[in-house]
Amino acid sequence: MDRESAKKKAEALVNMMTIEERASQLRYDSPAIERLSIPAYNWWNEALHGVARAGQATVFPQAIAMAATFDEDTVKNAGEIVSTEARAKYNALSEEGDRDIYKGLTMWSPNINIFRDPRWGRGHETLGEDPYLTSRLGAAYVKGLQGEGATLRTAACAKHFAVHSGPEALRHEFDAVVSKKDMHETYLPAFETLVKEAKVEAVMGAYNRTNGEPCCAHSVLMEDILRGEWGFEGHYVSDCWAVRDFHEHHMVTATVEESAALALKKGCDVNCGNTYIHMMKAYEDGLVSEEDITKACVRLYTTRFMLGLFDSSEYDSIPYEKIECNEHREFATEVARKAMVLLKNDEFLPINKGELHTIGVIGPDADSRVALIGNYHGTSSRYKTILEGIQDEAGTGVRVLYSQGSHLYKDRVEPLAMKGDRLAEAKVVAEHSEVVILVLGLDETLEGEEGDTGNSYASGDKTDLSFPESQMELARTVIATGKPVVLAVMTGSAMDLSFARDASNVKAIIQVWYPGAEGGRAFADILFGRRSPSGKLPITLYESLSELPDFTDYSMKGRTYRYMENKAQYPFGFGLTYGKVSIKSAEFDIAALKAAAGKDTAGFEDSSADMTVTIKNESARPIEEVIQVYIKDNGSALAVKNHSLCAFKRVALSAGEEKQVTLPVSGRAFMEYDEEGRRVLDSSDFTLFAGVSQPDELSVKLSGVKPAVVDVKL
C-alpha cells in the first residue's frame, strides 16, 4: 500500500479513537483497542544480523562482518532473508494471539552510526567507519528488510540519530559537541541516504545530546534536517528509556510530563520506555495538544497499514518452516566466507591437510559459541565453532589437538591452580602439532552495550587495543614454541596485532569477526583453501590509541582513514586473497561529469559518471576481489585530509580471467562540505584511484597491487 493511501486509512481509524486511546498507542507496547477490533502491537523488534531475541532464527555474521563483504547484493539478500523469517514468526505467533515484545514487524535495525573510535563497545553493530560504505550497505539492508512490493515486508529503522558512538558509560548524560562540517561530512550522510534513497520507514533517536539538545527532542536534527531538508515521512522512535533521561540525567526538563511533551512536540512518535504513560497528564496540564497526539498516532498507524496489518498481503502465506531453513543457513555461511579478512600470509595458507598429521587448536574463543554470535542475536538450532569446523574438515586423516589455553579475560573466576595447568597444556599441544591455529578475541560480554555486558569496568567499551592479559600470556607461550601459527581473531573492533604481525612464526592472520552460527565451517573453508578469502577491513587498525583524540572528542581530526595522520597497522579497505590480481587500466567518463557540472548544485549532486576498470586474475585459482575507487580533491581547502571511498564492487574472477567492471561515481563525491555543513563544488582538480585497497603507500605495499590513476579536470 502506498503511503498516501495508508495515511488516509490511518486518519480515518485514528479519528474513531478517543484522545486517551490515541495517547495509549504512542507506547512501544501499544495495547489493544477492542471496541475498534485493533489488536495489541509491540513496536520493539530487532534484526541487526538476523531476527534477534525471539527464539530460533538464522544467525548471520555480526553487522561489522557483513560490512567487510563490501557487497551490496549480499547485504540486501541477507535483509530479505531476515525479513522473511520475521514475517514467518509474525504469521504463526499472531495466529496464537502472541503479540509480545520481539514478535512484531517493526525492526529496529540497522545501526548506521559511524565507528569513529575503536574503543566504542557497540562499534561491531555498525557498518564501519566510512560514511559512503555505511550509506551503500545500510541502504541495501533496508531495501532487503522492507522489500519492494506493494506492502512493506518489515519496517526498517535507521539508528541512532545522530552523532552517537560512545562512551557507553556516559550516554545517558553526554553532550556530543560537533562542528556543522563534521556532522554533515561524517555523521549524517548514511542517515540521509537511508531516508531519501532507501525510504527507511523509521528513525530512532540516540540517548545523548548533540550540541546541547537531546537527540530524541532535537529541533535541528529532527525538525530542520530530518523532516525539513530530507522530507522524512515515516515515524520516529526514542531509544529505550531515552526520554526519561531528559529529566533524570540531561536535566533539560523538570518533570516526566515535561519530558513526554518535549519529545512528542519535537516529533518523537513512539516511546520505547515508560515516559509516554504520562502523556495524558501532559495533555491535561496543557503541555501537549490533541493535534500533537493525533499527528504521532496517524504516523504510527500509517506504518501499520503499510505493513498490511489490517489487510491481507502477499506475505501472509510465508510459512513458519522458512525460519532457519537450509537455504538461509547456507547463505549465512556464505556471508561469513566473504566477510573474513586475510591480513597476513607468509605464503603459508591455504593449508594442505594432505601434508599434515597433527593440527593444534588453541585459545579461549576456539570452541566458544558466544564468540560466534555478537550481540543482538537470535538463537540457532545448530552452531559450528572454529574447533568443530577444523575437526570436520580435517576428518579422520589428521589429528586435531585442543587446549582452551586461558579464560577470555583475567577477571573470570577460576581456581588459581588451573592457570598454569592450561598454559602448560597449551604449550604441550603446540609442541606436538605441526601447525597451530591460535584463536584469540573478545565476545559480547567484553565489547557491547552499556548494561548488557560483563564488562562493568568500562560499560562495554574497551580501554585499550590490547587483548586481555590472560590471552597475551597465552599468545607469548604459543609463539615461543617456534611452531608455525595461524592467528584467528574473533573481535568486532580494531585490536593491536603487532605481536602477531612482527612474529616470524605467526605465518598468517585472519580477522574472523563474530561470524554467525556456522562460522567454524566458513573458517575451515578459508583455512584449507576451499574458498579464497575476500573480505576487506571496514575499519582502520591503529598502531596505538595515542594518535587518536580523547574518546569524548567528537571531532574527526585524526580519526579514521580519511583524517588520520599516522600510518595504520592494517588500513581500511585492506584484505588479501589466495591469488594475485592486477589493475590493467581505468577510464572515467569525464564528459558526463562535465555536463553535470554545468547544472545547478542539486543536479550535480544527483548525477553520476562511470568508472570502467579492467582487472585481471593473475593466478591459477578462482578468487573474488573488491574493486575500490577513492577520490582525492587536489584543489579545495575544505577537502578531507587524505582521500575518500566513492565506489566499490565485488567481482568474481576465474583463473586467469580478465574483466571490465563499471562502477558509477556520484557527483556528490566531487563536492565538499563547508563550515556551515553545506555541500559545495569547491574545486576542479581531482584524482581518482581504482585498486583493491586504498591508494596510500602502506595499502599498496601490503596488497601488492598498484591502483590505476585517473586525473579529472572539471
Position 390 scores a pLDDT of 98
- For the stretch 356-386, pLDDT in tens is 999 999 999 999 999 999 999 999 999 999 9
Position 427 scores a pLDDT of 97
Of 161, 175, 113, the C-alpha closest to 138 is 113
Quick check: pTM over 0.85? yes
Q: Which fold has domain 3-318?
A: TIM Barrel (3.20.20)
Position 273 scores a pLDDT of 97
Largest CA distance in the chain: 80
Q: How does DSSP assign 147-194, residue by residue?
A: -SSSS-SSB-EEEEESS----GGGTTT-EE---HHHIIIIISHHHHHH
CB of 573 closer than 8 Å to CB of 561: yes
CB of 403 closer than 8 Å to CB of 426: yes
Q: What's the average pLDDT block by block, 10 residues per block, for the chain (714 residues)?
A: 96 98 98 98 98 97 98 98 98 96 98 98 98 98 94 98 97 98 98 98 98 98 98 98 98 98 98 98 98 98 98 96 98 98 98 96 98 97 98 95 92 51 93 98 94 78 96 97 98 98 98 98 98 98 95 98 97 98 96 79 87 98 98 98 98 98 97 96 96 98 98 94
Position 413 scores a pLDDT of 46
Q: Does domain 325-539 have CATH number 3.40.50.1700?
A: yes
Q: SS3 of 661, please?
A: strand
* Positions of CATH 3.40.50.1700 in the chain: 325-539
239 as an active site residue: the answer is yes
Position 420 scores a pLDDT of 59
Q: What's the distance, CA 559 to chain centroid?
A: 18
- For the stretch 614-626, pLDDT in tens is 999 999 999 999 9
Position 525 scores a pLDDT of 98
Of 55, 107, 100, the C-alpha closest to 82 is 107
Position 458 scores a pLDDT of 81
CB of 670 closer than 8 Å to CB of 633: yes
Q: Which of 239, 245, 292, 443 is catalytic?
A: 239
Distance, in Å, from the CA atom of 69 to the CA atom of 340, rounded to the nearest integer, reads: 8
Return the CATH superfamily for domain 581-713: Immunoglobulins (2.60.40.10)
Distance, in Å, from the CA atom of 654 to the CA atom of 543, rounded to the nearest integer, reads: 36
Listing from the earlier edge strand, what are the strands of the sheet with 685-691?
644-653, 623-633, 685-691, 708-713
For the chain, the C-alpha Rg in angstroms (whole number) is: 26
Position 417 scores a pLDDT of 47
* Positions of CATH 2.60.40.10 in the chain: 581-713
Q: What's the distance, CA 379 to chain centroid?
A: 19
